[in-house]
A and B are shown apart, each in its own frame.
Chain A
Amino acid sequence: GENVEQHPSTLSVQEGDSAVIKCTYSDSASNYFPWYKQELGKRPQLIIDIRSNVGEKKDQRIAVTLNKTAKHFSLHITETQPEDSAVYFCAASKPRLGFGNEKLTFGTGTRLTIIP
C-alpha cells in the first residue's frame, strides 16, 4: 500500500520567516495531495491541496509544490504568524477503478511553532 513520510516532525521558526515541510510518497499512482492543519484540540482542516497534473499551487501565504518524478511534495508558508502554530499533516490518495479517490494515507505530522 501507499506509504507517506513527513519531515521534520517538529519545526520552530521566527515570526515572519518561512517554513517548509516535506513529504514523500511511495505509490506513483497517487494523484491527489492535500495538506491539513490541526490546532490543539481541534479537528484537522484542509488548507491547500494539489492534483498530479499541477506542479505548484498558491493561496496567499501558503503554497504547495509537487515533484512527480521524485515522488515528493512540500508545503511552504511565508511570512509566518503566531496563528500558524499547529500540527500539519500531508496526505496522498490514489484512484481505484470505479471508486474514485477513496482513501487518504496521512503522514505522521509536523508540529510547527512560530516564535514571536
Chain B
Amino acid sequence: NAGVTQTPKFRILKIGQSMTLQCAQDMNHNYMYWYRQDPGMGLKLIYYSVGAGITDKGEVPNGYNVSRSTTEDFPLRLELAAPSQTSVYFCASGQGREGQPQHFGDGTRLSIL
C-alpha cells in the first residue's frame, strides 16, 4: 500500500516552461488536494477535488490548472513557470468526512530559474 505517490521529487524549470506534477493515491479516497509550501511557511491550498470530474479552487490557484479524470490521479499543471512558483508542492488525499485526516505525499521540490 503506497499511499500518496508524487513524481518527480525534484525539478528545475526555466521561466516560461511548463510541466505537470503527478499525484496518485491507492487508498480509494474521493478527496484530493494540492498545497504549496514556501520556505519557512505554512501550507496553502492551490486546488482540490471531491471526486472524479470535480475540481475547485483553493487560496492560491493563479498560474495552475488541475484535472481529475480518475479517482486515483490528480495532476497539477504549471503552464508558464514563474520564479514566484518556486516552492515545495504537496499532494494529499482523504475521505473528506469529519474526523478523517488528510494523508500527504513526499512532496515535489520545484525551482524556477
Contact = CB atoms under 8 A, between A and B. Distances in A.
Partners in one complex: yes
Interface of A: 31-32, 34, 42-46, 49, 51, 89, 93, 95, 99-104, 106-109
A95 B31 CA distance: 14
Chain B: interface secondary structure? loop
Given A43-B106, A43-B107, A44-B43, 9 more contacts: A32-B98, A43-B104, A43-B105, A44-B104, A49-B101, A93-B98, A102-B48, A104-B45, A108-B42
A65 to B, nearest CB: 17
A101 B43 contact: no
Given A43-B90, A106-B43, A109-B42, A101 B98 contact: yes
B101 A100 contact: no
Interface size class of B (residues with CB under 8 A): 20 to 34
* Most chain A beta-carbon contacts within 10 A, residue among B45, B58, B98: B98
Contacts of B45: 103-104
B53 interface: no
Contacts of B101: 34, 46, 49
A95 B98 contact: yes
B2 interface: no
Judged by DSSP, the binding face of A is loop
Contacts of A108: 41-42
Contacts of B100: 101
A48 B43 CA distance: 18
Nearest to A44: B104
B102 interface: yes
28 contacts: A31-B98, A32-B98, A32-B99, A43-B90, A43-B104, A43-B106, A44-B90, A44-B104, A45-B104, A49-B101, A51-B99, A93-B98, A95-B98, A99-B50, A99-B96, A100-B95, A100-B97, A100-B98, A101-B96, A101-B98, A101-B99, A102-B31, A103-B33, A103-B58, A106-B43, A107-B42, A108-B42, A109-B42
Contacts of A32: 98-99
Contacts of B103: 46
B98 A102 contact: no
